[in-house]
Amino acid sequence: MTGIDAAELRRRVTELLAAHDPATTDRTAFLQARFDAGLAWVHFPAGLGGLDAPRALQAVVDAELEAAGAPDNDPRRIGIGLGMAAPTILRYGTEEQKRRFLRPLWLGEEVWCQLFSEPGAGSDLAALATRAVRDSRGDWVVDGQKVWTSSAHLARWAILIARTDPDVPKHRGITYFVCDMTAPGVEVRPLRQITGEAEFNEVFLTGVRIPDNHRLGEVGDGWRVAQTTLMNERVAIGGGRVPREGGLIGLVAETWRERPELRRHALHQRLLELWAEAEAARLAGERLRQQLVAGHPGPEGSAMKLAFARLNQEISGLEVELLAEDGLLYDDWTMRRPEHVDFAGREAGYRYLRAKGNSIEGGTSEVLLNIVAERVLGLPSEPRTDKDIPWKELAR
């Protein structure tokens, strides 16, 4: 850390605004200047969008720029890059990789997606079957299928894990890559969801060539690298900062106050209980973000993501009950390809349907319960008979 404090950051923001007035500066030019000034990720190294400052001080920068009407980088659109790819590249990438990928990622010039889950390896991610074979030139040729890939239809790059050694146990034969989504052999197909839209995709990889300098970490060490991605993913999904009575509980509470004709005594107690649980989750999220200042996210992020999924499903269910027949209205079944999930701007029926996916995406609730039990509560691990068996000998 450089010893930079809040006052110094405010001074640097003032300098940025003086040199690049948001009212007259092109949006992209302003974001470029912000990144180059080290005010993108203040805790990142100098030259990579940061100043080696304490992570907690990012809120100071964001508040100052928001008050000045400065543009942001549309974080919902590039959430996978910001929340998953960037921290993994920062920790495991070479200096060349960091300088190549981090700036356009933060600027939103290049969208990222995540090629992890597979049709036969969702909850048991380490059982993945996508193969990467090294060729005579030292590069890699990848064949396989990935599924439930958000933003693949928009993405320029993907974080990818593939099996490079089938002769060792499943966790030890995986390698982590950066995959060019425009490369020959990459095919993206939409997956239409219960909401009618196609936010997710399946991705087919056929003879896709990846240069070895697009590998993150050592060959065979991909599972360890992927843990950084997964821990950050769960914080990104379940640990976002929200104001008091923000999110879905705010929508239901507002409806309760503004439409007294809908109030029924049987729902009042449930609303109070969920409001209290949502507030407890919000405060737990604040504590989690304080812990992040001291280092990398731990298993607590899994607990936050669990709470996020359960609360979203219960609150959206309460909203549908509260609205009675109006809660079933959802007439937009258009085959859309959205850039991000919009809970607040859609109907209650949409929220109810879309929330069902919250307990699957970013790690199923069942898997996360195991993580919390073993790594947070210290309970005995479940018996695992396949940990020491070579992957190629596993039943599939």
Tell me the two tokens of residue 96: 């060349």
Q: Point out the catalytic residue in the list 118, 197, 199, 233.
A: 233
For residues 108 and 76, the answer to whether their CB atoms sit within 8 Å is no
DSSP letter for 205, please.
Answer: E
For residues 257 and 200, the answer to whether their CB atoms sit within 8 Å is no
Residue 222: closest CA among 155, 299, 125: 125
Residue 305: closest CA among 157, 83, 116, 106: 83
Tell me the two tokens of residue 71: 């543009």
Residue 143: closest CA among 126, 167, 157, 160: 160
* Residue 233 among the catalytic residues: yes
3-state secondary structure 35-61: HHCCCCCCCCCECCCECCCCHHHHHHH
* Cα gap 142→132, rounded to integer Å: 4
* Cα gap 93→82, rounded to integer Å: 15
For residues 351 and 319, the answer to whether their CB atoms sit within 8 Å is yes
For residues 177 and 161, the answer to whether their CB atoms sit within 8 Å is yes
Catalytic residue annotation: 233
